[in-house]
Structure 1
C-alpha cells in the first residue's frame, strides 16, 4: 500500500468504497465521518449508514486500535506503511497502516483518512515457516545429543541392575533402595531422550479412521482419576461427529499431554474444572477437540512462545511437551490453537475428517 501526498477532498463528494483496504475518515473531534465496507468488517461495532457518529460508538476506547487512531488524529500525523499488531479476543491481528489529512473545498483540514490492511495471514505464514525451520534445527541437534546420551545410559543401567542384585543378596537394603532411586532417575532421563527423538523424527504413523468421541471416552478414566487427586472437576461434553483420519496412539498422546497440562495449571489454584468438548466444523471439514481449564491462564505476551522447544514456565518442565504435540498434530494434517482470556486456557486440536 502506498500513500501519496494528500489531495484536496470535499467530504460531500468523498467516495472511499472503491478502496479494497479498510478505509475511514475520522474528524478531529473523533467523529467517524465515513467508512467503507472493509473498515466496517474491521470495526467491532455496527454503524451501517449512520455516519457521522462518535468513533467510540463503533470502536470502544478499550481497543488498541482506538488508541492508535486517537493519537494519529490528535497529532494530525501522516503514517506511511507502518506494521502494527493489535490484540483482540486473545488473537493478534497484524495491519499495514497509513494515514493522511483530508481537506474541504476551501483547503481547510477536516480530518484524517486512515487505511488499514489486514496482513495477518502473511505474518502468520512467515511465523509458521520460521517456527518450523527452528523446530527442525532443534530436532536435528536433539537427535544427535539423544543418541550420545542413550548409549552410556544403557551401560549405567545394566551395571546398576547387577549391583542391585548383589546388594540384595548381601542384605544391604539401604544401599539397595538407593539403586531404586538411581534406576528411576535413569528412566526419567530415558523418557526425556525419547521426547528428543520424537521431536526430531516421529515414528511412522498408522493412519486410520477413528471415532473421536469414543477415543476421548476411552481416556476419561485415566484423566478422571488424575483430576480427583488434584481436587479438580472433570466434565465431558461430547457429541457424535464424522470420523477423523489420524494415528490412534499419537492422538491419545497429544490429548493426554494437553489434559495433564490443564490439571497441572489448576493445581496451582487448588482446584478448578477441566472440560473436554468436540464439534464438527463443516466448512473446514475438520473435527475440533477442545481442552478447557479454569486455571490462571497464559499471559498474552507468552502465547507466541509456548510452542517453542525448551520454553517452559514450570520449575520441572522440559519445554518439549507442547512442541511435540504441535509436531504430531501437524504431521497428521491438523493444527493446535490456543486461547487464554484473563483466566483459563483452551487448547483446540483440529484434525481432518476421513474421506468417504
Structure 2
C-alpha cells in the first residue's frame, strides 16, 4: 500500500510540474522575444536567472520547453543574431548532447532535428556515432543531419543511397542542403553528379544545382545531355535554363527532334526560361507538328510568354486555328474558363 501511495504522490508531483511548465510557455516566449528582438542588453547570467524565475528549476524538462520555443521561432523565420546568447546561457548544447546519449530513440530524433533547426554544427562525433545504426530511422536521420551540419565532407553518405528517392526524401535532403548553402559549402555537388551510380540521386542533385544556382557546373550538365537515362538528360536541360546558360539554346533545338517527349518538354521549358527572342519560329513550328495535347499546351504557353513578339504570334496563331487546337490556345490564355 505504501508503494502505491508513493507512486501516486510522485505522479501527482510530476503532473503538477508538467502543468506548470506548460503554463509557463507564454512567459518564456515573451522573455525570448525581448532578448532576441529588442535592443535591451542581457548578460548570460541575466538570461539564465530570468528563465529560472519563470520555470522554477532549469532542468531537462524546462530546457526541452525552452528549446521548443526557439525551434518554433526559427521555423517561423524569426531572425536574430542573439540566438547564441540564449543557447550558451541555458547550456543548450550540453542539453542536446545528453539527448543524443539517451536510450530513447525519440529523444535522439528530437536532438537531430533541434540541432539542425538551431544550426548547431558541433555534433559531428555524436551524429557519426549513429550513422551506421541498425535502426533505419536513426541511421537516416543521422546521415541527413551530418549532411546539414558537418563542414567535414558533408556528402560522405551519398554513396550509400540505394533505390529511388521518395518525394519525402527529396524534401528532407533539400532542407539539409539549404544549411550547406547558407555556409557556402555546396561546391561538392558537381562531383557527386558525376560520381554517383544512383540515377535517382543524380537527378535530384542536378535539380538542386539549378535550384541553388550553382556556378561552374556547365560542363557537367552538358556531359549529362549524353547520358543513357532520358530523365537525367531532361533534368540537365531544365537546370541549363535555371542557370540561364543561353549559349546552349541552339544545341537544345538541334536535339529536340531526336529526343523522347520528356526531354522535348524540358527543352521547351528551358527555351521559355532563357527567353532570348531567337526561338519563336521554332516554337511555332513544333506547335503545329506536335500531337500530344499536354505537350501542345506547354508549347502554347511558351509562345504566349515569349516576349511581346510571342504575344503577337499567339494571337496570330489563334486567329488561324479552329477545333481542338483553338480550344487549347483559349484555355492557355484564360485557364479559369472551361470551353465546351
Q: TM-score range by the shorter chain?
A: under 0.3
More helix by share: 2
Instruction: Determine which structure has the larger strand proportion and give its number.
Output: 1
* Structure with greater contact order relative to length (CA < 8 Å, sep ≥ 6): 1
TM-score by length of 2: 0.20
